[in-house]
Structure 1
Amino acid sequence: MKWLLVNPRPDEFSVMGKFEKVMVPFIPMGLAYLAACLEEAGAKVSVYDGFASPGRTLLETAVDYQPQVIGISCLTPTADALKVMVPALRKACPDAKIVLGNIHATLFARELLEQGLADYVVHGEAERTVQRLNAFLEGKGKLEEVQGLSCIRDGQVWTNPEAEPLQDLDSLPLPAWRHFDLDQYIAPPLFAFKKRLLPVLASRGCPYRCYFCAQNVMSPTLRRRDMVKVVDEIEKVHHETGVDLFWFCDAIFPLTQKDAEVFCREMTERGLHKKIQWITETRVDLVDRPLLRMLKQAGLSMVLFGLESGDREVLSRIKQGVTLEAGAKAVAAARAEGVTTLGLFMLGLPGETRQTMEKTIGFAQRIGLDFAKFNRAAPYPGSKFFDDVYAARDLPPWEMFSANYEPKDGEGIVYSPDGVSDEELVRLHKKAFFRFYVRPGLIARHLASGRISPWNMAKGGGLIIKNFLE
């Protein structure tokens, strides 16, 4: 079969709001894995990333390629755009089957199928499911054998049993990066690198169940790769592409002390620590100075900490399981070891007030972070947060389910806590960036370190100031 895999970028709206001007595309690793698995199964594959295909539209690509199957990654903020996108694709490629996947499609398969927006929906981790679906479409198997699949059959939505999560992640072929123009994927300004960035995966799933998180819909169980094979992959990709900056897209990396030791030993013994830098995200209660020192010696350049809030009661309610003291200690340890830090925060969580959000902004300023990213809390489908908020409410348009959605005139946002207006939360969100970044001491620190060029600092700072003053 001839597949076109699509990471769509709807033209009708921007999910990043005004900050899109300083955003860069992240390469869709899921499609790279799917492409590799389909090719392993004998399919022919092309990939279209709407965020990194300048001068080329999806319809033009589809008309020229004439796929037999169009697989579309469906995330919540882009789900409404399918109502325009899919009819256009059906008109351009009338014989092609439409397959939807990713978290929104997994959760809302019935609705999408009943609306005629898909012929098939694959649930959860899709690598083996698409291989079985490809075999079925080629007449080599039965529909009932395609686990983790929904479709319309005899006028009704038919759902096969869910596929078991893949236990041996190392059995997957490596992501097929050859389908992407890697020059389009430059590290975002907050990562303080102006070079190509590729993701790498060392595990799937997360042992924690945070109130606001929906990622376990896709990977419900924790599975880890062999660290030697992870380093093998980094070495191979570096040799083949020249990319020397990698980002671990795991929920947490490293997950254990043993994983850290094996990974760091392999990186240093092969000399890769002198050629490659890497970025990771972890919990503040899983690091200390000795661990960070070892990771730094193996090439770690930046660590992202999910700090979330500067208020103790808010942290307790979201079941994060960490303390403010642990957060401050982890940031101090990273800074002492020369590791750049990026703190991730949310504003407007359930039960929040203006005062708790002010605490978060002050906490971010106080603990010595190099960078901070503030999101408005959004109740994403698949999270306990979503279930609580929309148990008895009508759903707003899906495009609003973005932490950076820019409200149109007279429009609200997807969620604000009781006692806080939408307008006040939007204002506090702008204020957080302004107060964190427009500080002489932080600006001087970045200029002295050379992490950000004066041009990028002026560009980003100008946008933050303009956004705050509007």
Structure 2
Amino acid sequence: MSLRVLLLNPPHGSIGSRVPAEQLPPLGLLSVGGPLLDAGFTVELLDADLHNLSVEEIRHRVLRCAPDVLLVGHAGSTSAHPVVVQILEVLRPVLPGVPFVYGGVFPTYHWHDILERHPEVDIVVRGEGERTVTTLVQALATGADLNDVPGLAVRRAGQPHATSAASMILDLDEYRVGWELINHADYSYWGEQRAVVVQFSRGCPYPCSYCGQRGFWTQRRHRDPVLFAAEIARLHRDHGVQMFNFADELPTGNRAAWKAFLEALIAEDVPVTLVGSTRAGDIVRDADLLPLYRKAGVIRFLLGIESYDQGTLASIRKGATTKDDREAIRLMREHGMISMATYVVGFEEERDLDYWRSFQQLLLYDPDQIQLLYITPHRWTPFFDTVAHRRVIQTDVTKWDYKHQVLASRHVPPWRVLLWFKLMELGVQLRLRMLWRSLTHRDAAYRHAMRWYYSVGRRVWMHEVAEFLRSFGRLREGMTVREFWGESLSAHEEALARVPRRREPLLRAAD
């Protein structure tokens, strides 16, 4: 029996989704869609985030699709959860016999609460979904017992029940991305460049206590470098994709594999642009490879610096040094690449002097771009245990997206935290050295990237200030983090079952 599967990407109200007039395709759902298509199922994607559809418009479009199975998920998993629930509540009465499947990082860990509180959700997919969802839909088609499908959470005798953990996918090339589910012309980034999100590797070996992704992927793995480069080249040649945004936590983690990828992409001879995130230590390690980075198309890496205090870095188990951070920024500039340095507010309960010192450190680091974020504790991370006693000031879960204050600070009220936050952004990005560099840099790609960043950043800056002023009266210290979310789930941080690694050559033989 061939089932019609609808993949639903819900609208997301975060600043990153709505302020820039550009959207990226939902890689997670496309990664599930490819294996479902290959298994013989009819698959359609409804990207409600692309056009910010209302719940009523989503209802109409879902009914027109007439799915046999509805699968919903979003990359902004925690902050998208209330919207997912709202949509499924509206759809349940009009699709009474259709299984509603919910996947993503947040439901992977909160499956028990979701099945207990939200009867409209039938099945939760825990962990990576390519194999699990395909096996699930095959079981639904044949009427097989879902308790035999690893990686699910279902109701058994009316109670939430988790099946065995799914084994991680060691061969990431075993399942393909369903690119045919989208119209590439609908998606752009970096100033109207046709764009997609790609993933070379999954997982990260570093034990950062606050990271909500490390345990979800459980163990680091990477794709075949040559096959991955060939896929990027094909997307450029066949669909005109220019910009590739890496979803990896650490694409550079394996130096040999990353070098092989860069060389393979250079050999493909396609004019593409690559952006992503990595660790400053990998940039320093790869000082001799940085000419390959730039030649392959890397224009920007976000450096997960997080803090400029060595004690804080040690407490969150970052495993980084301020020396490497500064050197990475210098090396990237030397090789024509843009460094975006992060600073996260709230690891400690800062005082005004701490903000002043952080501002001085940001100026000393001299990054091309900065991204300031608010610490947002996830229930399944070890960091949750260290802040479980702190007070919550933001009870709207849609605001738990790193761009809104969610935790109270004993020493600095929310309005002054925002003031420091926004003044630090202005002070760093509008320094004369940076403005001059943006205007006079010899590389046109660098100048374009900086103009785009300043254009988007200006709108986001004003939006964040206006939004805070509108909500200021509702920010009140309330329950603790533990009372708000429940007991810690950090003991279950690893979502997948580890499997023994096979010793394989770095590259496959060409087909």
Corresponding residue number in structure 2 for 1:152: 155
Corresponding residue number in structure 2 for 1:410: none
Q: Is the 8 A contact 2:125 2:132 kept in 1?
A: yes
Q: 1:235-266 CA deviation, whole Å, 9 max, x = no partner?
A: 22222211022122211122222113311221
Hey, what's the Cα distance between the residues in 2 that align with 1:459 and 1:300? 20
**1:282: how far off?**
1.3
Corresponding residue number in structure 1 for 2:438: 446
Q: Is the 8 A contact 1:434 1:468 kept in 2?
A: no
Label 1:466 to 1:138 Cα distance change in 2 as closer, same or farther (>3 A). closer
- The amino acid that maps onto 1:246 is F
Give the TM-score of the pair, scaled to structure 1: 0.89
Corresponding residue number in structure 1 for 2:472: none
Larger mean CA deviation between 55-64 and 227-236 belongs to 55-64
2:313 aligned with 1:299: no
Alignment equivalent of 1:416, drawn from 408, 422, 439: 408
**1:343: how far off?**
1.3
Corresponding residue number in structure 2 for 1:225: 223
Hey, what's the Cα distance between the residues in 1 that align with 2:292 and 2:376? 36
- The amino acid that maps onto 2:90 is A
Corresponding residue number in structure 2 for 1:404: 403
Q: Percent identity?
A: 24
2:175 aligned with 1:172: yes
Label 1:181 to 1:387 Cα distance change in 2 as closer, same or farther (>3 A). farther
Q: Is the 8 A contact 1:310 1:361 kept in 2?
A: no
**1:161: how far off?**
0.5
**1:453: how far off?**
7.6
Label 1:221 to 1:422 Cα distance change in 2 as closer, same or farther (>3 A). same
Q: Counterpart of 2:342 in 1: which secondary structure?
A: strand
- The amino acid that maps onto 2:10 is P
2:422 aligned with 1:430: yes
Larger mean CA deviation between 99-108 and 109-118 belongs to 109-118
Q: Is the 8 A contact 2:310 2:322 kept in 1?
A: yes
Q: 1:302-331 CA deviation, whole Å, 9 max, x = no partner?
A: 122111112222222211111111111010
Corresponding residue number in structure 1 for 2:487: none
Give the TM-score of the pair, scaled to structure 2: 0.82
Q: 1:51-80 CA deviation, whole Å, 9 max, x = no partner?
A: 213667321210111111111115111222
Hey, what's the Cα distance between the residues in 2 that align with 1:123 and 1:435? 43
2:91 aligned with 1:89: yes
Q: Is the 8 A contact 2:194 2:243 kept in 1?
A: yes
Hey, what's the Cα distance between the residues in 2 that align with 1:251 and 1:368? 23
**1:468: how far off?**
5.9
Hey, what's the Cα distance between the residues in 1 that align with 2:120 and 2:350? 38
Corresponding residue number in structure 1 for 2:283: 287
Label 1:283 to 1:87 Cα distance change in 2 as closer, same or farther (>3 A). same
**1:145: how far off?**
2.1
Alignment equivalent of 1:242, drawn from 240, 243, 246: 240
Hey, what's the Cα distance between the residues in 2 that align with 1:467 and 1:32? 31
Label 1:435 to 1:466 Cα distance change in 2 as closer, same or farther (>3 A). farther
- The amino acid that maps onto 1:427 is L
2:118 aligned with 1:122: no
Larger mean CA deviation between 392-401 and 234-243 belongs to 392-401
Q: Is the 8 A contact 1:427 1:468 kept in 2?
A: no
Q: 1:427-449 CA deviation, whole Å, 9 max, x = no partner?
A: 22222222222333322322234
- The amino acid that maps onto 1:5 is L
Q: Is the 8 A contact 1:264 1:295 kept in 2?
A: yes
**1:465: how far off?**
6.2
Corresponding residue number in structure 1 for 2:495: none
Q: Is the 8 A contact 2:19 2:459 kept in 1?
A: no
Equivalences for 1:5-404 in 2 at 5 Å?
Answer: 5-9=7-11, 14-16=13-15, 20-22=18-20, 24-53=22-51, 57-73=57-73, 75-115=77-117, 116-139=119-142, 141-173=144-176, 175-188=177-190, 193-272=191-270, 275-288=271-284, 289-390=287-388, 396-404=395-403
Q: Counterpart of 1:151 in 2: which secondary structure?
A: strand
**1:227: how far off?**
0.8
Hey, what's the Cα distance between the residues in 1 that align with 2:225 and 2:346? 38
Aligned pair count reads: 452
Hey, what's the Cα distance between the residues in 2 that align with 1:453 and 1:304? 14
Alignment root-mean-square deviation, CA: 2.5
Label 1:137 to 1:357 Cα distance change in 2 as closer, same or farther (>3 A). same
Q: Is the 8 A contact 2:250 2:279 kept in 1?
A: yes
